[in-house]
Structure 1
Amino acid sequence: MTNEKTINLLKDMLDITLDLPLFYIEDIKNNLKEIEKYLPSLLTINKDYFNNFIDFIITTKEQNIYSITDSIFANYVVVCLDEINKNYILLGPYLLIADYKDLLSEYNQYDLTLDEINALKNYHKDLPILNKHKISNIVKIILKNIYTKNCKFKFIEKNNLFNLKSKESKTHRELISFIESDYLEKISATEYKLFFAIRQGDKLFASKCFDKLLPQTNINSNDFVNIRDYKNKLIYYNTLLKKAGELEGISTVHLQSLYNTNLDKIELSNDFNELYNLIFNMIVDYCDTISDHKLKYYSPLVKKAINHINLNLNNDLCVKDLADLFYVSPTYLARLFKKEVNSSIVEYINTQRIKQSTCLLKDRNLPIHQISQMVGISDYNYFSRLFKKYMNKTPSQYRKNNT
């Protein structure tokens, strides 16, 4: 049998080409703490789940290839390399179900809430999708590089190691809860900007963010694997936009209806350009919904003022210019704004600028002085003082603690 260096080379190749994780587990019984560090977090978040998974691996025999489906529909392959020294390779997680609707039917077999189903969708969209034939070939290539002599291997399938229907175990719900709580922490800086823009009802900025995240593609629409991947990305952003609405206090019923409508449109389309345009319609719908909800108790004049402020935070803003824009006196606008919003116009502008800056600080590539200018504050020292006033820490401290 070959050495660990060969396995690491195979691991790197699979990671680069297929985004498929490969783990080499050595002396499993004496290295549980180390193993726990590098295994997928979903295998280690629940102690019973982790122990049962390890116990199963230990029972595997040489010259067998074990294909496992876990309690949340993810798949792994386990191969015992050395029964005496307890050395193994673990391949996965990945999905075997290429058709999204088939996966939905799998969800519906179990007693899951809508939030749990959405959390699973978010998790599954990041897993590589492979068929059994491809997995079989990958495993054969791995073993061919590991073993110096020809060996016959037997495939053994182990479906659903932990039953979702079991009333005695809540393991699956703990795993799904972990996915859901971890969801927003893992979004990229640009996704965070998109998330913030939607919460602000800023269609233009949200559209610019999305264009960076998912540029228009010229991939052949007949390529099902690529279009499935593209649809999965749109489903992810549909979920992200829905989450933005939830945090703004929008009715769950209304948001779910909007979410389902978008989901149906995504699944019905098999045209890249149509799907690309769909996201901008989604942005408009979610932004309008949030803006209407946030501003529904304000007078038309205050609504216009708030919208103008939120869309022009990077520009110079003052009460006089706002009043001139809407053909009213500065005193009247300031008094009405204070009465309805319970904040002065200047205070509201400052609050929104600091909110936007917290979003931009997530992007470590942006210098803080540039962020200051991007939110309409040309004086960096003033920006720092203002930021500390609202956030109780400097921009640098905030970035250090939150990125």
Structure 2
Amino acid sequence: MQLDIINFTTKLLSKCIPVKVQHFKKFQWDSLTFEKDSDFFSMINYHLLKCIEPYLKQCETSTITNIITPFNTNHYILCISKEEDEHLVIGPFVEDPITDDLIYPIINNLKLNLDHSAKLKLYYQSIPSIDATTVFEILSTINEYITNNQLPPRLNTIDLSILPKQDSSYDLFVENMNRTSMYKELEDRYAAEDKLLSYIKNGDIILAQKQFAKYPISCSEIIRTKDSVRNTKNLLLTANTLFRKAAYFGGVHPIYLDELSGKWAIKIEQALSLEVLNNLHIQMINSYCLLTKEHSLSQYSEIVKQALMFINLNISSNLTVKSVAHEVGLSPDYLTRLFKKELGVNIITYINKKRIDTSIELLKSTNLSIEEIGDLIGLNNTSYFYTLFKKEVGISPKQYRNSLKSK
């Protein structure tokens, strides 16, 4: 069944994006041999094979690895299952066109003949250009669906785009990389990232801010292009996805997450300068923490979650205990007991409080009349709205709005 899904996904992606998509197993690479000094494409495949080897040694299930080849092309590989040896690779592709100022250093670096330059230029013209963030998002979605693992996948990078002079083999080069502190730095970075996401999941703004101040996210850790503004936008878009996932695991309903993440995606893309973009990280963290704090339902049972979500999304309707109970398929008496047990208040008290909280936000952020706000929160009896508001807040809606003007 899983293989059918993978094959279907591969065929669908091949028709939807202009990049080669392949499903492979380790033995398929083990059986391949290419001579680097034979024809041009055998040479390309030889170097790709040498890039795949370190990936196969270190890949982990639900991890996405960005391989940057000696030709500065990208391949993104999703390890669907290390145990079952299932991998999905998208590539090659480039984010920016390869120009002559890159072609000749590549030729020099790999000790190729200059007559390879024309072939390389034609090769690069055949390589599609696509935003790496898009590829990462595609593989993240596939990983979540195929593996049923809703945790956001990690992104590893194997960057072989800058090689030493060819007096050493790839194996020696990879071995030397392993001796450096690169992997330790990666481990530390992912641990810091996981901690930040856990604070967002719990809606803890203070700890999230402290964690970000201690371990700020750097553009050097994300896909690189020559455009620093584009780099930062890619970084923020990736962070937006991770923060959204963290809030989801914190119990926030997707309807709220889609609204917030959509707003951030638009704001990121519309930003014109690094100064504006560099101020967005902490704002995003704060907004997702507040969202989790306000809308998390993770501490409640599934039935009560359904009831709360129905109330929250239908606050302008004529909500009654009977209508909520009907929605979740329970008797009004049984739902009332569950609600009281888990929230400490009865359903009507919760509904009225939610209505007054919503009205406060509308009084702060709109110029709607008191009557219009009452209608929007399901209280078209203005007198009753005033009574409930004063009971909850201590002053009338009109007095509350006037107090905002005086501040």
Question: Is the TM-score greater than 0.5?
Answer: no
The TM-score with structure 1 as length reference comes to: 0.38
Larger Cα-atom Rg: 2
TM-score with structure 2 setting the length? 0.38
Q: RCO (CA 8 Å, sep 6+): is it higher in 1 or 2?
A: 1
